[in-house]
Amino acid sequence: MKGVIFSELIHWVEETYSPGIADRMIVQAELPGEGSYTSVGNYPHVQALAMIGQLVEITGRPVDALADAYGYWLSSRLAALYPQFFVGYTDAISFLKAIDGIHQKEVTKLYPDALTPRVIAEVDGQDLLVSYASHRPFAEVAHGLIRGYIDHFGDDLVILRDEQTQGPHAARFILQRK
């Protein structure tokens, strides 16, 4: 997994909780390299899971809530770090319909060895169905990212979770206008 996700996770903990909490999380996770990540480096996703696990221990918040909050925060960071990915999109629906292509084309152009999740969005009547699948267990982060993209574009949408697709590696979200 790309180091930008790790470095942003640490940044989120510093900003949301404190630099001291971030340091405790890193130390308690017993990470190789003591939490030093370069944005272009590749790291095992289990290191991110170890950090989140320690954050659960430190804060007492459930892992799903932390992962969702991180995803929400990360959406604005990705918009700031990679504004070119957002050019030409005026709403969350058009952006989410194109996100899989953005991942497959643009992310792999920047990082040829990246293994990106699949995010397929398709219109179903008045709803947008967004299916997430990855070999990494980050469905809650995906939920937070979608919430963040809705806010980024200022859309008036609600997200429902298809309970039949519950799981850390795959999820289906239903976006409806309020």
User: Which segments in the chain show pLDDT lower than 70?
Assistant: none
Single out the residue in 45, 61, 77 at which a domain terminates: 61
Q: Are residues 25 and 52 in the same domain?
A: yes
Q: Tell me, what CATH number does 108's domain have?
A: 3.90.1520.10
Q: How many other C-beta atoms lie within 10 A of the C-beta of residue 113?
A: 7
Mapping DSSP to helix (H, G, I), strand (E, B) and coil, where does residue 28 land?
helix
- How many domains does one find in the chain? 2
Residue 61, classed as helix, strand or coil, is coil
Task: Indicate whether 119 and 158 sit together in one domain.
Answer: yes
pLDDT of 174: 95
CA–CA dist 145, 76 (Å, integer): 9
120 in the same domain as 34? no
Cα(175)–Cα(93) distance, integer angstroms: 9
**Nearest Cα to Cα of residue 134 among 159, 84, 99, 83:** 99
What integer pLDDT is reported at residue 1 of this predicted model? 79
Q: Phi and psi dihedrals of 129, rounded to 5?
A: -100, 125
Give CA angle at 139 (137, 142), nearest 5°: 130
pTM: 0.92
Domain that holds residue 155: 69-177
Judge if 152 and 126 occupy the same domain.
Answer: yes
* pLDDT for 155: 96
Residues 43 and 74 in one domain: no
For residue 33, what pLDDT is reported? 83
What's the CA gap between 47 and 38, in Å, rounded? Answer: 14
Question: What DSSP line would sit under 80-121, residue for residue?
Answer: HH-GGGGTT--SHHHHHHHHHHHIIIIIHHH-TT--PPEEEE
For residue 109, what pLDDT is reported?
76
Q: In what order do the strands lie in the sheet with 157-161?
A: 118-124, 127-133, 170-177, 157-161
Co-location of 89 and 129 in the same domain = yes
Per-residue model confidence (pLDDT) at position 117: 87
Q: How far apart are CA 73 and CA 9, in angstroms?
A: 9
The distance from CA 63 to its chain's CA centroid, rounded to whole angstroms, is 14
Going by C-alpha positions, the residue among 120, 141, 98, 135 that lies closest to residue 5 is 141
